[in-house]
Structure 1
């Protein structure tokens, strides 16, 4: 069933910087704060940043905030996130001893006030499980400043078709791709998703893609900004940053 939002704020992705996977590994709490953990999100909220996070679905279709396909790097387990049900994932801990957050818990912590970028992690055309899980959680916060985004244009297309009014963005990188292959992939992704904004790799800027997008009035965010040089580049070629750590 298609759902409709009462309104959306197309400007909020450019209002303030976004902390990449929360404000982790530095700044307010030092190096002991895990990415995509609630402590990292609380740190970002405390200092007034927006939040960028990654989401995958459990085996039983619950949205969890987690970047990798497998649990090894951040939770010390060999299984894939998608291989465990929600109750099993709730029992696991991140390196800072915090739980792997459910997206519903993060949305509640933001309280409809903190800008949130939800990056959907999905491979190929198999996007329905994670997209539907995210949509169910977002339905409880219809007026919250939340945008979904993904490298996968099929995920964005799912939201275009199923959640009318949702703000969505396409994440892009040219790294590791030749000019012809990269150009074809980007053209297809833009045609499939018709995004409200782009999130471009800082290493690619400036690019023809980002310059043309901005000339057409399409906002360009850039990731992952880690240095003063990155910030200077972003200030000239993007409308907002997704960053790690604080640089003053």
Structure 2
């Protein structure tokens, strides 16, 4: 009875994309999501840093979609960078949000990675050649409006396949309300909470977010929650897919992989050897 009630509320509060249902043809709005493998933070390696123009170029050349991370600068521009602080990947220290976009754009990434790009520059580099997943970084103690607006502005006029996603359900909710033409997703990790309290938290996040797809932690698959949403017509992507075993899990329980390392290279090799390559 409890499961049926939750399913009914899911359908009411977070309906799948129009026309999507289990067993139907892929929805035109979201069907492309499951047709690609996405390079996690670009096709990076020990010599090519994550979220760098060089990693993005390698992904494009390999025929892989791209997942990237964005957060805002001090002047509310969307910058393609994962960490809150600059320390791990650059010679600089301190928070990204303390600097203006023009200052951040001058910061070099390791090796020949290039400099930290704005979201606009990243999209210009991609140019619609491969699809893009944009993970919007947020914190519960920060307003989401500045970064959501920054991403919205950067996407204005972009014609390539793209989607935004976030762990923060408020982000997907904002795009549902204010930028409805942008495909939106909820990033989910169960963190071992497969009990009733954990299930309820996931449903509450779903109802707030109203997502059109899920990006699910590979460590949590198979998942009762993910399977239920997938049956309703929400594509399920999975991160971070690193091994051949992970790829097998994705093939059984999800629609597409957000991959790096061994798994990304395996997919790159498969694409290079296909008749379409």
Q: Which residue of the partner structure matches residue 157 of structure 2?
A: 140
C-alpha distance after superposition, 1:192-230 (max 9, x if no partner): 111110000000000001110111111100001100110
- Name the counterpart of 1:167: 183
Partner-residue secondary structure (3-state), 1:32? coil
Distance 2:248 2:164 in 1: 26
Matches within 5 A, 1:67-86: 67-86=82-101
Secondary structure of the structure 2 residue equivalent to 1:56: strand
Query: Which residue number corresponds to residue 147 of structure 2?
Result: 130
Alpha-carbon distance in 2 for matches of 1:191, 1:9 = 20
Aligned to 1:24: 44
Higher Rg of the two aligned structures: 2
- Please tell me whether residue 236 in structure 1 is matched to residue 255 in structure 2: no
| Structure 2: gaps of 5 or more residues | 1-27, 270-277
Residues of 2 paired with 1:86 and 1:190: CA distance? 33
The answer to whether the Cα contact below 8 Å between 2:86 and 2:93 also exists between their aligned partners in 1 is yes
Determine if contact 2:199/2:225 at 8 Å carries over to the other structure: no
Alignment length (residue pairs): 235
Q: Say whether 1:40 aligns with 2:48.
A: no
C-alpha RMSD over aligned residues: 1.4
What secondary structure sits across from 1:221 in the alignment? strand
How far apart are 1:185 and its partner, in Å? 2.4
Residue aligned with 1:184, SS? helix
Is residue 104 from structure 1 mapped to residue 120 from structure 2 by the alignment? yes
Which consecutive unaligned segments of at least 5 residues does structure 1 have? 1-7, 26-30
Question: Are the aligned partners of 1:54 and 1:119 in contact in 2 as well (CA < 8 Å)?
Answer: yes
Residue pair 1:118, 1:146 contacting (<8 A) in 2 also: yes
CA distance in 2, matches of 1:187, 1:223: 20
CA distance in 2 between counterparts of 1:67 and 1:184 reads 29
Q: Deviations over 1:154-211 (max 9, x none)?
A: 1111111110221011000012546344323211210011111000000000000111
Does structure 1 residue 194 correspond to structure 2 residue 214? no
Partner residue of 2:77 out of 53, 62, 86: 62
Task: Find the aligned partners of 2:232 and 2:157 in 1 and give their Cα distance.
Answer: 33
**What TM-score results when the alignment is normalised by the length of structure 2?**
0.81
- Contact in 2 for aligned 1:127/1:155 (Cα 8 Å): yes
TM-score by length of 1: 0.91
For residues 213 and 113 of structure 1, the distance between their equivalents in structure 2, rounded to whole angstroms, comes to 29
Contact 1:171 1:199 survives alignment (8 Å): yes
In the aligned structure 2, how far is the partner of 1:207 from the partner of 1:139? 36
User: Are the aligned partners of 1:33 and 1:39 in contact in 2 as well (CA < 8 Å)?
Assistant: yes
Post-superposition shift, 1:153? 0.5
Task: Give per-residue Cα distances to partners, 1:86-109, cap 9 Å, x unaligned.
Answer: 121112111124101111011111
How big is each residue's C-alpha offset from its partner over 1:38-80, in whole Å with a ceiling of 9 and x where there is no partner? 0000000001000000000100011110011111111133311
Cα pair 1:56 1:120 within 8 Å, conserved: yes
Name the SS for the 2:138 alignment partner. Answer: coil
